[in-house]
Amino acid sequence: MAFDYTLAQIAGRIASDLAGDGQKHITGVAPFDEAGPDQITFATGSKYLNRISAVQAGAVIVPRTCKPVPGINLLLADNPQFAFTQVVAMYHPTVPPAPGISDRAQIGKDVHLGEAVHIGAFVTIGEGTTIGNRCVIHDGVYIGPDVRIGNEVTLFPHVTIMHGCRIGHRVTIHPGTVIGSDGFGFVPDGGHYHKIPQMGIVQIDDDVELGAGNTIDRATFGRTWIQRGVKTDNLVHIAHNVVIGEDSVVVAQVGIAGSTQIGHHAILAGQAGISGHLTLGNHVTVGPMTGVGKPIADGEVVSSGLPSMPHRTWLRVQRIVPALPDMKKQISELEKKIAALEKIIANT
């Protein structure tokens, strides 16, 4: 379906100020360097703002601090990138599948389904489960017994939600993610490892979005808790009894060990590894490939991932690393000798 809006209509939708022709018709969206005369784009940062006068787009969304540019239609917004995502949604609206239950779905006893729910083919829903209004459960999803799912939840194909877990409202879970698998708990005895029963649940609060291929383990007791507004990338592992605070972001291939608590508005960058039984404060940032083995206070930024370097240099670095303790000892001894010599010289 083709969409056509005037700039005045767009400005009203995204709460922006218009500097230009309000009757200009816009038929689509595009990146800054590709947008044509009938398309809209956005610009932030000097890299793009300094080139606005040469842009071919029909309109550009810019920060409110920008001054008018002759011949260029501007929409001035508090957050141009967010405003642009709103415009993208105008031209590419999400159309959910029609409500209904596939005759190839398997629904257990005492299941309660809300209004306008879509249940796809080969979905399995266990006994005693409740699913709220306007949920979309795509093909091949497994939902275990006694699960509670809120309103307007979307589960993409092959999501698994194991027994007893709790999912809030407006949650989106992408393909292949597993919620409520057993936590990794074993106790050694007699030279063998014996499984510790995992009796808790996973609780996912409102407005959470989980990427593809996540695994979020159920608690040993109590709950593994993903709080409101958390966003995760693909291939994230969250172990048993972890708590992640509101509006935190967890990027691809992050692993969080058991019973760690992470505050609100934290950012864990790609491949960060967080040890167990730690507390990371609010507004903490952990850089990519960083191993965290001790608590982090509110607002701290930590990183330890090595920058890229020529392979031959990296080989030399790796040979030096095992010798660092002895080198430190030698340097300390040299510092003492130098201090002694300086003292002798000062007294002569």
What would the pLDDT profile of 324-344 be if each residue is shown by its tens digit?
A: 999 999 999 999 999 999 999
pLDDT tens digit sequence for 98-140: 999 999 999 999 999 999 999 999 999 999 999 999 999 999 9
Q: Quick one: 238 and 282 in the same domain?
A: yes
From 240, 265, 283, 311, the catalytic residue: 240
**pTM of the shown model:** 0.90
Instruction: Give the whole-angstrom CA distance, residue 327 versus residue 201.
Output: 49
- Does residue 114 sit in the same domain as residue 193? yes
Exposure of 102 in the CB half-sphere (CA atoms within 13 A): 18
CA atoms in the 13 A half-sphere facing the CB of 271: 7
Identity of the residue numbered 244: I
pLDDT in the model for residue 308 = 83
Structure tokens at 316: 């030399």
Same-domain pairing of 200 and 295 = yes
Domain boundary among 91, 120, 143: 91
How far is 267 from 252, CA to CA, in rounded Å? 12
* Same domain as 254, residue 202: yes
Q: Is 169 a catalytic residue?
A: no
* Mean pLDDT, the chain, integer: 96
Which pLDDT band, with edges at 50, 70 and 90, does 347 fall under? confident
CB 46, CB 63: distance < 8 Å: no
| Separation between Cα atoms, residue 159 and residue 140, nearest integer Å | 8
Residue 145: give its domain's CATH number. 2.160.10.10
> Do 219 and 331 fall within a single domain?
no
6 band by pLDDT with thresholds 50, 70 and 90: very high
> Within this chain, do residues 114 and 85 fall inside the same structural domain, yes or no?
no
User: What is the domain extent for residue 183?
Assistant: 100-302
Stretch 227-255: mean pLDDT: 98
Q: What does the pLDDT read at residue 306?
A: 79
Helix (H) or strand (E) holding 91: helix 80-91
Both 200 and 85 in one domain: the answer is no
Mind listing the pLDDT tens digit for each residue in 63-86? 999 999 999 999 999 999 999 999
Res. 305 pLDDT band, cuts 50 70 90: confident
Per-residue pLDDT, averaged over 220-239, amounts to 98
- Same domain for 40 and 171, yes or no, is no
What are phi and psi for residue 49, nearest 5 degrees?
-60, -35
pLDDT at 307: 80
Q: Same domain, yes or no, for 130 and 232? A: yes
Q: How many domains would you assign to the chain?
A: 3
pLDDT category, 156, cuts 50, 70, 90? very high
Residue 71: give its domain's CATH number. 3.40.1390.10
127 and 202, same domain (yes or no) = yes
| pLDDT value, residue 285 | 97
Q: Is the pLDDT confidence value at 55 over 70?
A: yes
8-31 pLDDT tens trace:
999 999 999 999 999 999 999 999
Distance CA 107, CA 124 (A): 6
Q: Are residues 193 and 81 in the same domain?
A: no
Do 31 and 130 lie in one domain? The reply is no
For the cut 70, the answer to whether the pLDDT of residue 1 exceeds it is: no
- Does residue 151 register a pLDDT over 90? yes
pLDDT score of 92 more than 90? yes
Neighbouring residues of 212: CB distance < 8 A, sequence distance ≥ 6? 156, 174, 175, 176, 177, 234, 235
Percent over 70 (pLDDT), the chain: 100
More confident position, 306 or 173:
173
Average pLDDT over residues 288-298: 96
